Structure 1
Amino acid sequence: MSRIRKFSQFSFRDLVATAGPTILLIGALCALAYVIVDPAPPRHMRLATGQENSAYEQFGTKYAAALAKDGIKAELVRSLGSQQNLQQLNEGKVDAAFVQSGSTDEAAAQRKGLVSLGSLFTEPVWLFMREPVAVTQLGQLKGLRINLGPEGTGIPKLFRQVLALNGVEPADLAIGALENTPATVELLEGRIDALVFSSGPDALLVQMLLQTPGIRLFNFDQAEAYARRLPFLSHVVLPRGIVDLGRDLPPQDYHLIAPTATLVARANLHPALIELLVQAATEIHGGAGWFQQQGQFPSARYTEIPVAREAAKFYKDGAPLLQRYMPFWVANLFDRLWVVVVALAALIIPFSKVVPPLYVWRIKSRIYRWYGQLRTIEQELEEGAADGREQVCDELLKRLDDIEARVNHMSIPLAFADNLYGLRSHINFVRQRVLLTLKTAAAAR
């Protein structure tokens, strides 16, 4: 039975010998396409945040935690603020950053290769003053000591534009450039009269100053006019009692002007990371807040920077289908496999027409090479000298017996059995010619 089974199966060795190089070539080309055409997303990225205790820094920590769930390490890079974040993006030192609206424009963003992943939240301009300072209009700030923060933040540029609308020049003020935390200490100690910074209402400094006795928040009564004159600003209202209803803090509605915080990335950031960042933004910023409704943020609106294609698709259709039901890396693998499938199909179709003939040729070549031996024997039989023909015939018969013995031990699939039996009949045919020649030589002697 073992011999019958052996001759009943196809020749696996011949199949490997003929199809093996093709399979290896296809595998190598597919692997090359998989790596080069759509590389795997990196497991590390750099995210520029903001100053210590700022809303940017707090949100950066939340983004790092969200990305860590999918095995992505987000390195948080502390900065002075929006302007420095934008500079680091332009220089390629970070992959993504929080940037304040009004910091750049569409043409500059496209020229530097930057894309928006969506606006995240409004970050009002907070102007806190000491109680003795009686200021109801920005024009009354002349001569006061006011801290606008370092030039790396977005506020100095923004607030100068606001002051210019009120006819106030920077030279009319004693402007400080301290970071928010030391500037707050200076304000509480009375060494400066006012402090300006832009941040989300969740920032610790905002919460503290809103509840600090002797510190007053400036009310931008003309907020709607500022929003009309400077399109990157919005008019928002801090409702009465929102900080502490029991103590009625604040004691009135406050009108504020607010740019929008935007998550900006370099255009060459891997699409899968963009999708992860946008999904994280939805989890972090999608709820209701002091100045936003449920689901208002993140959004493809409120940004002057072109929105990334993956982000726009997410805001329109939601998360990719596979990522709704699979872990990130599994979904990403299947999402990238289409490249391999296309490459595989393009190669298998032509190679499928080449491998079968090669397989048939390899098996038949094991049979055909014995025909060369038979032809050699016939030539030697015809060229043999008449006086030594009997000896030649004896040697040829021994060679034919050896050939027949080897052929009988050949492993040939049953599909090619007719070729094997044809070879054996031809061996016998040549043997009969040799025997006839031997008989004729013996009779002649």
Structure 2
Amino acid sequence: MTSAELSRRRVMGAGLQVFAGALAAGCSAGPAPVRRLRLATGPEGGPYNAFGKALAQAVAASGRRLEIVPVSTAASVNNLRELDEGSVDLALAMADVAEDAVLGREPFPRPVAVSALARVYVNYTHLLVPADGPVTSVQQLAGRPVAAGAAGSGVQVVAGRVLQAAGLNDGPSPAAPRQLSLAASASALREGAVDALFWSGGVPTPALSGLARELPVRFLPLDGYVGALRERYGPVYTEVSLPAAVYGLTAPVGTVGVGNYLLARDDVPDSAVRELLQVVFERWRDLLREVTAGARLEPRFAISTGQVPLHPGAAAHYRSVYG
């Protein structure tokens, strides 16, 4: 064997060793690990819980290296506290509560470091009373027991603010709010344990549709309080209408609307946020089907998050897709 052939064999052998080493390194690295994100939703059977489960299923079906784990909670206020504590990575919350958290307003003792991924849909404030009962206006709730949402929920916040705007939080004969879940509120109204029921959610809310089939109810208009709420808390509150036909209504009923945000801790990686939003916008019809009828999710709507800043990953997603 000549010296040239020997040199050539040495070079080829070295090359094969390098190739084998690179191949082994590539195989040992394997696919990127699945990133698991815990999502604070709401009570079982509620709209946040339904949205969270639908989102988890949509992400799993997408094939992305991402997993969403829905966590049942009392909803908005509780969710922001869990985000602050770091026990969850994502949360759903009503816009008014989210702004309270970011600004450090009551019930939050200091600002909470969270950001928004999207405004996903609008809640409608419902105020129901028995149709054959004596209450025909908010003012007539003075001195009466009112189901005003579970402790730690966004319903409790908006109900308290409406009662305050109506002058029923204090004075000689204030309303008497009871902290009750939606299911417990419906039972209490049906049994006569309360004279009115507050709820904030999509339209129609199945539990209220069921209640309206069992008990003739009247929906009290609340749009007259939107101005006072906006003056005190800003444009987070809007005037909307429960449409005719839902719940057996024969005409629209004006009420208070407030958005719902999908939120994240600031330390959730931008890449995970961008992947999640890709799924949200690909599957928004499925996500909203069980939450609110006829809603659409559009970018110009999604980025309207008021005082709550967009997460950098969310801002990058909207820029890359919509310019």
Aligned to 1:239: 243
| Whole-angstrom distance in 1 between the partners of 2:118 and 2:265 | 13
Amino acid at match of 1:256: T
Asked whether 1:295 is paired with 2:298, we answer yes
Q: Give matches, 1:21-170, under 5 Å.
A: 42-69=34-61, 70=63, 71-105=65-99, 106-108=102-104, 111-169=111-169
| Whole-angstrom distance in 2 between the partners of 1:154 and 1:232 | 13
Q: Displacement, 1:113?
A: 2.6
| Whole-angstrom distance in 2 between the partners of 1:202 and 1:59 | 15
Amino acid at match of 1:263: L
Asked whether 1:257 is paired with 2:249, we answer no
| Whole-angstrom distance in 1 between the partners of 2:41 and 2:69 | 10
Asked whether 1:225 is paired with 2:227, we answer yes
Aligned to 1:208: 210
Contact 2:161 2:229 in 1 (8 A): no
| Whole-angstrom distance in 2 between the partners of 1:157 and 1:176 | 13
Contact 2:274 2:314 in 1 (8 A): yes
Report the TM-score, using the length of structure 2 for normalisation.
Answer: 0.80
Q: Displacement, 1:5?
A: 6.7
1:64 counterpart SS class:
helix
Q: Displacement, 1:163?
A: 1.7
Contact 1:146 1:193 in 2 (8 A): yes
Contact 2:281 2:297 in 1 (8 A): no
Residues 213 and 261 (structure 1), Cα distance of their counterparts in 2 relative to 1, 3 Å cut: same
| Whole-angstrom distance in 2 between the partners of 1:296 and 1:144 | 43
Residues 198 and 54 (structure 1), Cα distance of their counterparts in 2 relative to 1, 3 Å cut: same
Residues 291 and 139 (structure 1), Cα distance of their counterparts in 2 relative to 1, 3 Å cut: farther
Amino acid at match of 1:76: P
Contact 2:269 2:313 in 1 (8 A): no
2:262 counterpart SS class:
strand
Residues 193 and 267 (structure 1), Cα distance of their counterparts in 2 relative to 1, 3 Å cut: same
Q: Displacement, 1:257?
A: 0.4
Aligned to 1:334: none
Deviations 1:262-282 (A, max 9, x none): 011111112232123222332
Contact 1:120 1:297 in 2 (8 A): no
Deviations 1:220-258 (A, max 9, x none): 2415524633421111112222x38xxxx3111111101
Q: Displacement, 1:284?
A: 4.5
| Whole-angstrom distance in 2 between the partners of 1:146 and 1:223 | 18
Amino acid at match of 1:100: M
Query: Relative to total residues, which structure has the larger strand share, 1 or 2?
Result: 2
> Number of paired residues?
302
Contact 1:101 1:304 in 2 (8 A): no
Q: Displacement, 1:49?
A: 0.7
2:180 counterpart SS class:
coil
Contact 1:102 1:232 in 2 (8 A): yes
Deviations 1:328-371 (A, max 9, x none): xxxxxxxxxxxxxxxxxxxxxxxxxxxxxxxxxxxxxxxxxxxx
Q: Displacement, 1:138?
A: 2.1
Amino acid at match of 1:179: S
Amino acid at match of 1:82: S
Residues 233 and 310 (structure 1), Cα distance of their counterparts in 2 relative to 1, 3 Å cut: same
Contact 1:238 1:255 in 2 (8 A): yes
Aligned to 1:316: 319
Aligned to 1:378: none
Residues 134 and 44 (structure 1), Cα distance of their counterparts in 2 relative to 1, 3 Å cut: same
| Whole-angstrom distance in 2 between the partners of 1:291 and 1:86 | 28
Deviations 1:33-82 (A, max 9, x none): x9xxxx95643221111012111011011111011122533221111110
| Whole-angstrom distance in 1 between the partners of 2:297 and 2:37 | 29
Q: Displacement, 1:14?
A: 9.1
Q: Give matches, 1:369-388, under 5 Å.
A: none
Contact 1:210 1:216 in 2 (8 A): no
| Whole-angstrom distance in 2 between the partners of 1:226 and 1:133 | 28
Contact 2:230 2:236 in 1 (8 A): no
| Whole-angstrom distance in 2 between the partners of 1:168 and 1:98 | 29
Residues 223 and 279 (structure 1), Cα distance of their counterparts in 2 relative to 1, 3 Å cut: farther
Report the TM-score, using the length of structure 1 for normalisation.
Answer: 0.59
2:302 counterpart SS class:
coil
Amino acid at match of 1:139: Q
Residues 296 and 251 (structure 1), Cα distance of their counterparts in 2 relative to 1, 3 Å cut: farther
1:102 counterpart SS class:
helix
Contact 2:274 2:316 in 1 (8 A): no
| Whole-angstrom distance in 2 between the partners of 1:272 and 1:296 | 19
Q: Displacement, 1:206?
A: 3.2
| Whole-angstrom distance in 2 between the partners of 1:134 and 1:285 | 42
Deviations 1:280-315 (A, max 9, x none): 332454689657456367611044211012212323
User: What is the percent sequence identity of the aligned residues?
Assistant: 23
| Whole-angstrom distance in 1 between the partners of 2:134 and 2:277 | 44
Residues 60 and 168 (structure 1), Cα distance of their counterparts in 2 relative to 1, 3 Å cut: same
1:112 counterpart SS class:
coil
Contact 1:97 1:264 in 2 (8 A): yes
